Amino acid sequence: MFLDLNRLYPNDFPPPENTRPLIKFIERLIVGCLNIEPIAVNSPLGRSPPVRRTVRVRLGPRVRYHRSALISICLWVSMFAWLKKTSGPPTASDAMARAIILKCLFVKALAAPPPKYLSECRERWTKEEWKRFLEQERVQHKPFAERLREGGLWNVVEQKERSFLEMSSNEVTQQMLIDASWSVESIVCLLWALGHISELLPYDQQADPELTNNLPAGPARILIKKAVLRPHALIEKQRDLAELWHWRSRTRQLQESNYKFTFPGDMTIQKVIGMTSAKAATDGVIPSPIGDDFPAFGKAYRDLVQQG
């Protein structure tokens, strides 16, 4: 599965603004280590034409990673894309509402039979058996949309999500099931922000679907009313960490697209990556660097390769 980090950027908004905390961090790093002015620091760290928002996003340099690649980025990317649609920071009620919506999508994806299996069944069944199956399934899936309507959330469900929730299994594609199954990462992220999960996972571990059971039971309206967010400072700290990993991912993408970085003196993007990973490790926000690079799956980030 591809995860599109470019969803962080609105169509008319250049990447540097979204990585502003990281850029300031790099500026301080360069000034502190080299005692020079940060000339044109913004440009090599992501200035490029505005990136068109897409539905599917890629982690890193257009590389398909292992299914669990940099899962914490996955957790926060979905949340960040959603934040861009709000006029300000979301409230606890907003976060709980979104978690409930995503949980409905995730559970439906788990309950839906794989399209290939369904196709095989249809070939074996009679028309009457097929019709009966579709009717039974419609009844089984109806509660997902009903819960959202009863909770006053249906109007804030995205159109694509509404369509998925109302589809019968014979209309659902394998890609839809994969996309919905990845919502577990965002659910876990939101549950952490709401205090229902104690810790976020390291960036190279996949979230256990069982963690979604930490979403409290009860009517949506009551859950939304009682929701409380963690302190703002803790959420901002995790956001900054996600943006740091996003910067590393974006930088590798630019490197592999032959982007021409511009730095003063003999500074190179490799040196910037090395200094950034060392400083981040010293600050305790990432594990010890591997080969002067961010560590992921026991390797330097630059050494992650395409799989399957």
Mean pLDDT value across the chain = 77
Q: What is the pLDDT of residue 270?
A: 93
Res. 27: pLDDT tops 50: no
Question: Which has the closest alpha carbon to 138: 110, 117, 107, 165?
Answer: 165
Burial class (CB in 10 A: 0-12, 13-18, 19+), 228: exposed
Q: What is the pLDDT of residue 77?
A: 52
The CA-to-CA distance between both ends of the chain, in Å, stands at: 10
pLDDT digits (tens, 9 = 90+) for 219-278: 999 999 999 999 999 999 999 999 999 999 999 999 999 998 988 889 999 999 999 999
115 — pLDDT class (breaks 50, 70, 90): confident
69 — pLDDT class (breaks 50, 70, 90): very low
Q: 98 and 209 in contact (C-beta within 8 Å)?
A: no
40 — pLDDT class (breaks 50, 70, 90): very low
The residues spanned by each domain of the chain are 5-71+239-303, 92-228
pLDDT digits (tens, 9 = 90+) for 255-270: 999 998 988 889 999 9
Q: What is the pLDDT of residue 226?
A: 95
pLDDT digits (tens, 9 = 90+) for 128-141: 888 888 888 888 88
Q: How confident is the model over 200-219, as a mean pLDDT?
A: 91
Residue 137, token pair as written in the block: 């399934």
